Copies of this chain bind each other. A is one copy, B any other.
Amino acid sequence: MDFTCTRQELLEAVNAVSRAVSSKVTLPILSGIYLETTDGILRLVATDMEMGIEYTLPVSVALQGATVVNARVFNEMVRRLPDGPVNFVVAAETAVLKVRYQRSEVTLNTMNPAEFPLLPTILDGDRFCLTQAQFKEMTRLVCFAAAIDESRPWFAGVFCDISPTGVNWVATDTHRLALLTTELPPESTVSERQVILSAKILADVARLLPGEDLPVQITFTQSQALLETGYLRVILRIIQGQYPKYQQVIPREHKGRLTIATKNLSEAVDRAALAALGKEGSNIIKLNVENDSLTIRANSPEVGQIYEEVIANIEGETVPIAFNYRYLQDALKVIGTEEIHLDLSATLLPGVLRGVGEERYLYLIVPIRTG
């Protein structure tokens, strides 16, 4: 193997595939990045067997070949390379990668590329395209509502409820639920299908997207999903499990509707969250409607009492309700609209947040039973 490129070109690729390198080393080969040169192309691959990332970039190739280098060492080294051309060579009879730049040379140990578990080739499957903006919106508005804990793996996933006209993306940790609908272009030929994909990996993939005009093509086989855009391919396992019937959880109507400036509510909830500080802190905030305002009360023996009053437009009948402030805060930070609706029906029924003028998204919070 013999290729030449610059730090700048290589660094983005190494950073991208490094996300698939497991922090817990199981098989030593999985601590590596697979490098392969073919005609004018360098291909980098990393996988932790849950997901795999492949990145291709054009470089000047003098000799085709493959090797595997330790991901952490290679990442740190590329980061510290000087400006200008850098030459990477694995001589035929050796098992080391020589990295040459200016008058210096680093000789890195390598692993056997034949042992590296390459990503499967996926040609067939259900397939549709999103814009990068649609993909990023989905991860921003939905992924955070999934469970962190993976004891019930489907709750750590995003449920993708696909039909020929659009996709419902759902995530819930059973305390709150986010639902976004993305319309598919009329020429889509995808069939009805439900799959669950890791919320964490989807959010990671969104961070790798450069925000360009390239579409993200999504393909599902029986057990795997492939996300492709330009020079980037990500393969992940489909999570097996019975997802709850989310449509049954969402209230069809509401008795009262509050309309509030998102920023005002978000800042008030942030302050009410002060009551959660300290050892005896409480996550509970109590909401009520008094006159023309939403009031929020929180207290803790250590901190004291917090009383917030936020101007709101009130329609219908509302009820006092208590939430874990985190579930409200999480959604207020990502909803991009200037105002939100908070729809309430009863003290023990879920509240529903929607961005004003945004029909495609809703966020449901299960209340806390108090006093």
Contacts and interface: CB of A to CB of B under 8 A. Distances in A.
Interface of A: 70, 72-73, 76-77, 80-82, 96-97, 102-109, 267-268, 270-271, 274, 277-278, 293, 302-309, 311
A301 B278 CA distance: 47
Contact of A72 (B277, B305, B308): B277
How many monomers of this chain does the complex have? 2
Given A109-B302, A109-B303, A304-B109, A309 B76 contact: no
B80 A270 contact: yes
Contacts of A81: 271
A79 B104 CA distance: 50
Given A76-B274, A80-B271, A80-B274, A70 B302 contact: yes
A268 B81 CA distance: 9
Nearest to A82: B267
Nearest to A299: B107
29 contacts: A70-B278, A70-B302, A70-B303, A73-B277, A73-B278, A76-B274, A76-B277, A77-B271, A77-B274, A80-B271, A80-B274, A82-B267, A102-B309, A104-B268, A104-B271, A104-B306, A104-B307, A104-B308, A104-B309, A106-B271, A106-B305, A106-B306, A106-B307, A107-B305, A107-B306, A107-B307, A108-B303, A108-B304, A109-B304
A103 B97 CA distance: 66
A304 B96 contact: yes
Nearest to A307: B105
A308 B293 CA distance: 68
A267 B307 contact: no
A92 to B, nearest CB: 18
Contact of A106 (B70, B97, B108, B304): B304
A25 to B, nearest CB: 11
A300 to B, nearest CB: 9
Q: Which 10 pairs of residues, A with B, have the shortest CB-CB distance?
A: A103-B309, A107-B305, A108-B304, A104-B308, A107-B304, A109-B304, A80-B271, A80-B270, A105-B307, A106-B306
Contacts of A267: 80, 82
A274 B106 contact: yes
Contacts of A108: 303-304
A73 B302 CA distance: 9
A263 to B, nearest CB: 10
Contacts of A274: 73, 76-77, 80, 106
Given A80-B271, A104-B309, 20 more contacts: A73-B274, A73-B278, A73-B302, A73-B303, A77-B271, A77-B274, A80-B267, A80-B270, A82-B267, A97-B304, A103-B311, A104-B306, A104-B308, A106-B274, A106-B305, A106-B307, A107-B305, A108-B304, A109-B302, A109-B304
Contacts of A277: 72-73, 76
A110 to B, nearest CB: 9
A343 B107 CA distance: 29
Contacts of A302: 70, 73, 109
